[in-house]
Homo-oligomer: A and B are copies of this chain.
Amino acid sequence: MPFVRIDLIEGRGDAEVAAIGEAVQRALVETMNVPERDRFQVITEHPRGRLVYNAAYLGVERTDGIVLVQVTLSAGRTTDQKLAFYARAAALLEQGANVRPGDVTISIVESTREDWSFGNGAAQYLVLPKEQWK
């Protein structure tokens, strides 16, 4: 259900980029009730100057190691789930991919269940029983 875009400044190796994707996915699974296999991510590296960020907004110190995460998913998660996701993503990104917690910026965009097709021209969340969402 989540579609995740991750934007970075170029310069990391493939392993580090992969670890970033994995940390975000693991945080979604652990806190947002996302099935393990429900993983669709686009990770893009940008030249410095094409990913523009403020290094101090809201009192958080940011660096060129910034990780911009944008998650689109169906509405229904609680505020507490979202808070747990932010905290867990920052922790896992630090542990697993060496990202400074100040560099983890996340935004969520919500849609509804009818807004997804996972292949074969079907809207699976409307026609598959929930126990088969895996």
Residues of chain A touching chain B, judged by Cβ–Cβ distance below 8 Å, are 3, 7, 14, 17-18, 21, 35, 37-46, 49-54, 56-62, 68, 70, 72, 79, 82-83, 86-91, 101-111, 114-124, 126, 128, 132-134
Chain B residues, CB < 8 A from A51: 41-43
Chain B residues, CB < 8 A from A35: 57
Docked-complex contact A121 and B86, CB < 8 angstroms: yes
| CB contact between A50 and one of B43, B57, B79 (< 8 Å): that residue | B43
Chain copies in the assembled complex = 3
Give the interface centre of A3, A52, A105, A111 by most chain B CB atoms within 10 Å: A52
Docked-complex contact B53 and A39, CB < 8 angstroms: yes
State in angstroms the CA–CA spacing of A10 and B119 once bound together: 20
State in angstroms the CA–CA spacing of A52 and B42 once bound together: 6
Ordered nearest first, which 5 A-B pairs have the shortest CB separation?
A90-B121, A60-B119, A86-B117, A87-B121, A108-B115
